[in-house]
Structure 1
């Protein structure tokens, strides 16, 4: 499935045609307060030991109580560097860096540094952001976020690829006298635009290494995948699914935000259908009152049967 990327995280997620499964922080479920660091670390290593393929961290620069979600609270670069130091092989991803609120040269250096320090395990989801008050706080025009996103992606590619590059944009100018170091472990840090990021699918297919999307009903998903394959060929498609495992293994699905509560038998068939449709990776929110038990049950009863 890969198109030649040397990045180890990319290979972990997309090297074969098999569906891979990752989980997202905060693994403890704490979304408005600072999560317990020791417990998050323990659950991260537990998820890796179980065989989950990726650990994903969100980028939420500022907490907006009305939105009701602070992500995993910690800055994603700092947090994933910490996680990298306590794991060995699992892919590490952002879902997703809010590019319009960050200077692309800072992002380029942070991403390449994390990629190097993790042994090439970093895969970067990127997005335009969905919390309007953040844009005012950073002095960024909310309506210009689509254009800033495109410029940022172009800047990232250029400074990762070229030595002493010459390029410019609204963010600034490089005239060939300066270089970005370090470079990534491979030809690029893999970039997965998230949602539409205020772009059309043709742009996403040309400029993204894959596409990370939200949960969709299966009929809608099939249409999206058709459009993606037309635009991007065999570049991978990843999606988010909240998965709450019911005690009854034969329980029918009940809709939840971004996913379902259902029995293991339904989830096994559902993930097999996603695989058959052409989904390459699923970011699972394995929710439950006991996070360790939820991670373990879902992997043993669903993922291992796929």
Structure 2
């Protein structure tokens, strides 16, 4: 089992404080704390933050061990050749540590506005994402684009839920599945179906989980403030859509354990607080050792 953490890049959309160099330092601290991967998201205009592949290029030079991931990069906004070249560059700089988590863009006015600003059609974006995946792999496997270090290119994960269409796309096109489902039981059912379909296709898929948590005494208050600041929605709404949990380290461990039992094997933790540095310390000291112990018990 792998355990990663989101770099606090989206918090700039909440606080207005942009600090790309600080994110690189945070990534180095995460590696020193023993985490396996660091991740960053993308939003050009809706919730403006640091461009993900540029950031991960800098993180590649500041770290030596952690995997570097996007959670998620909006694939249809990119040209396949440009993305193949950019991703291969990060993969070379990192010695083959890149994972590309990809999304098609949420069906929201803010996302539509980003597509319009970049002159990209919003309609048909899901099928274009699947085409992008195929084309990037063709470039990495023998085209004229810059070659990646990893054979066949970096792993490509789909950020999506448990709809039949998402399950079929993960099983047929992608190397990993990155949902943020609030119900571990639903996760287990979806993963069982993905496993069945990938076995039929002769493929392997990494089951990930995007989970928001905070270790705090008044955790629900902290998470509610975070959800309202970022999504403009209360926790009572957001925890019906995404995986949220807060409380003691033991409580967070128990909650994550249900997803591990359901099949999750790469946990990506998003800190549900603007005080990311303190939370990183708490995760490293109070949660990570027990997660490691849990992983050793996985059959």
- 1:118 is the counterpart of 2:94: yes
Total equivalences in the alignment: 263
1:290 is matched with which residue? 275
Q: State the distance in 2 between where 1:193 and 1:181 align.
A: 23
What does 1:1-306 align with in structure 2 at a 5 Å threshold?
19-26=1-8, 29-32=11-14, 33-61=16-44, 63-64=45-46, 69-70=47-48, 73-130=49-106, 131-163=111-143, 179-195=144-160, 199-233=165-199, 234-247=204-217, 257=238, 258=242, 259-288=244-273, 290-306=275-291
Unaligned runs of 5+ in 2: 225-234, 292-299
Q: Closer, same or farther in 2 for the Cα pair 1:197/1:181, shift >3 Å?
A: farther
Deviates more, 1:116-125 or 1:289-298: 289-298
Please give the alpha-carbon distance, in whole angstroms, between the structure 2 residues aligned to 1:191 and 1:22.
16
- SS in structure 1 opposite 2:55? helix
Pairwise CA distance, 1:193: 1.1
Secondary structure of 1:181 counterpart:
coil
TM superposition shift of 1:145: 0.6
Greater fraction helix: 2
Post-superposition Cα deviations, 1:240-274, rounded to whole Å, max 9, x if no partner, equal 1111112389xxx9967431122222111222222
Q: Structure 1: which 5+ runs fail to align?
A: 1-18, 164-178
**Alpha-carbon distance change, 138 to 40 in structure 1, aligned in 2, over 3 angstroms:** closer
Deviation at 1:147, TM superposition (A): 1.9
The 2-side partners of 1:136 and 1:288 are apart by: 31
Q: Secondary structure at the match of 1:31?
A: helix
Q: Distance in 1 between matches of 2:280 and 2:10?
A: 10
**How has the CA–CA distance of structure 1 residues 149 and 248 changed in structure 2, closer, same or farther, with 3 Å as cutoff?**
closer
Superposed CA RMSD: 2.4
- The answer to whether the 8 Å contact 2:85/2:145 transfers is yes
TM-score computed with the length of structure 1 as normaliser:
0.79
